[in-house]
Every structure is written in C-alpha cells, then in structure tokens.
Amino acid sequence: MTVSALPAVRRVAILGSNRIPFARSNTAYSTASNQDMLTFTLQGLIDRYDLHGLRLGEVAAGAVIKHSRDFNLTREALLSTTLARETPAYDVSQACGTGLETAILVANKIALGQIDAGIAGGVDTTSDAPVGVNERMRKILLEANRGKSVAQRMSALVKLRPGMLLKPTLPRNSEPRTGLSMGEHCELMAKRWKISREAQDELALDSHRKLAAAYERGFFNDLMTPYKGLSRDNILRPDLTPERLAALKPVFDHDAGTLTAGNSTPLTDGASAVLLASEEWAAARNLPVLAYLTLSATAAVDFFDKKEGLLMAPAYAVPRLLERAGLALPDFDFYEIHEAFAAQVLCTLAAWEDEEYCRTQLGLDGPFGSIERSRMNLNGGSLATGHPFAATGGRIVGTLAKMLAMLARAPGDTRTRRGLISICAAGGQGVVAILER
C-alpha cells in the first residue's frame, strides 16, 4: 500500500463501559486476584453489549501491581470470557495513567484503520499484592536453582537463616529516586502552593456528596456490574461531615502536614473496561455512540533534579493539548480531574491561575485560566470512589462519555458537548484527553 492509499483518520467512538464497584483494600475483594476482577469486568461488558463470540481487533489492559505469574494478564483474562479466543490482547502499564493510556492506544489503532473495535481497561489490587523474599534469601534461592547437582544446591541452601523469613519484601508506593511516598511528595506540593487543610477537606466532602447523589439517581446502573456482594463503592461515606474530616490527623507529615486519610485516596481494589470502535462498526451492530475520544497527550516532569511537584505533570500536559486542539480552558462542559489527593487537584488549579508559573514553567504568555468548579467531577471523584491505580482511567472515560451522551439528548441544549480528562501518575507523569459528542 502506498502512502497516498492509506485510509483517512477515523473518529473513535466510545460505545460503553463497565466496572465493578471499587473496594477499600483488604475488604470485599481481599481474596480476589487481578485476573479474577479483570475477567469479571470484561465479561460484564461483553454481556451488556452482546459481544459473545466476536473477534475484536484487540483488548488492552494492565495493572500497576501484579504478580510475576501475571506476565500475560490481559490475554489470560480474555481467555476466560466469551469473546472469541482469536482476539489479541496485551498488557500496558503507566502507573495511575494506565487505564486512560490503554484507551488512547486502542483508539489510535481504530483511528488509523488498523482495527475496527477494541476494549481498553485496567485492574489493580493491593489486597492480593505480591510479597517477595528479602534480597539475601532471593540470591540464595537463585544460586540453588543454578546448581547442577544435589550437592551444589544444598551448598547454597545451607546459607538460609530463619531470620530471612521475617523480612519479606512488600510492595511500596515510594519513588525509587527520592524514597518519598506519593503522599509525602504531595505534602511538599501543598506547602509550595499554600493549599489549606480546609480547602482539601471541602473538596473531599464535595466528592463524597456528589458520588452519593449519583448513586441515588441511578447514574451508575448501566456502568457497573455488582461483584462479591458490593453494588456500590464501599469507600463512599454518604454521611461524611466537615467535623469528621477536621478530626482526622495528618498522615504524611505529622507535625505540619495537611493531608489526611479523608482528603487522600485510600488503597483500593477494582477493575474497569471501555468499548471503543469506529462509527461503521458501531452502526453495523446498532450500538449508539456515547462520545468520541478525539485528542490526547502525555507529559512528565523532573521531580528529582528540578524539584517540580511529583504530580504536576497534568499542569503541563493540558495546555499543550489545548493548544493543539485550538481550545481554551473554559471551553468544556465537564472536567474530570483525578483526585489522587485533594491537594493535587488544588495545586494544579492554582498553577493554571498563577501568571509567573505559567510564564516560567509552562511557557505561556500569561495565566492559563480557571475552570468552573461546578463543572468538575460532577458524579464524584477518586476521593469518594477510590483509586485502583490502573482502573481509574476506565472509570473516568465511561463516566464522562455517559455524561456527554446525556447532554446531547437534552432538548435545546446548546453547550459545547466537550469534556476534559486529567490524570496524574507516579514517576512525575500525566495523561490527559478530550472527549466530545
């Protein structure tokens, strides 16, 4: 095929999504594996859109924390569903941006005509986290495994000591280059931007109230499949009050910190998946289009040498994306900003309004702008739903697509029918995207 014969870029339709309720770590899903949750979530999507026996272009998903046995996690999960086993699948991992990144990857292949339809998703559990032996014990076991004879293996194994069993290697969420956890990094950001404890608690309370209201009006009824006795996110606290939030103690900086268990996302288990396709594929199967995934961008910051805030990459990614799209920050009906921490959201919003920062760091002529808070995370955010790292992107894409579809059906509505997604990620990264209807 010559270059001139290549197909034109196609619009990528979001046809639907599915997730399981998110659960606080070591509660409802404490015995469920990543593969268990991803398989169940994929099957729920397949059931909802009657995809049984179909060979899709591909399925892309991933997990941030997974066992070595899960080297082919997505493919193994797919093989346990009723999709055609001839459907290819692969794993993706970009920290907390994984779920959105998988959607971008699948969408790009659809746009280029390489595939017609695919599923993007993500899953994570910290309840079933891999536990490794300590480093000395690991090296001894590897030495024994290399032994060619019983004598060689035994000469290695006699070096084992009982104390080695008392020091397992547990997963950590600290950055290898700094040794600081994400929460400790966010505390530094909150101090840099002078984000108050009260503002953080207010955002957290708002997230819970919005999520509770969304459940009451049945918003998630066609976005979720109940799992292991849960029919809604068990992190949600409908009766949360400002007083209860104010009573919580700081968890990352006990002396001068402002981040608490109430205004930070807890460790969470869960999975999500999104169905993407060309308009032609959707029409052939009589599936209505909810929204279109149009543009996306990623960014990274130097949080080590240049001391930028670890979770500030979206502050850079969004201006670059909107410049490419020819849009300004107010040009959206909805903003879905991942609430890793209330402080992270507030730092990003403050940065976009700060003229000096926008000039010196973002390379803009002046302040990037402000968003109407009444348009942000209207059905609750990660502070209330929880944050199973790789599953958050799929949750947000599915939620926003439905909101845009509802807007399009509203008689006489003249809004732009456009939504912005912004997700911060470990390693100083950010993934952002635009959805339109």
By annotation, the residues acting in catalysis are 96, 387, 424
CA distance 402 to 223: 9
Which uninterrupted H or E stretch holds 107?
Answer: helix 98-111
Half-sphere exposure (Cβ direction) of 177: Cα atoms closer than 13 Å:
11
Cβ-based neighbours of 219, under 8 Å, separated by 6 or more = 379, 402
The DSSP code sequence of 295-342 is EEEEEE---SSS---TT-HHHHHHHHHHHHHT--TT--SEEEE--SBH
Is 361 strand, coil or helix? coil
CA distance 271 to 258: 30
Q: Are 155 and 319 in contact (CB under 8 A)?
A: no
User: E strands within 25-144?
Assistant: 58-61, 89-91, 117-124
Cβ-based neighbours of 348, under 8 Å, separated by 6 or more = 311, 312, 314, 315, 337, 422, 424
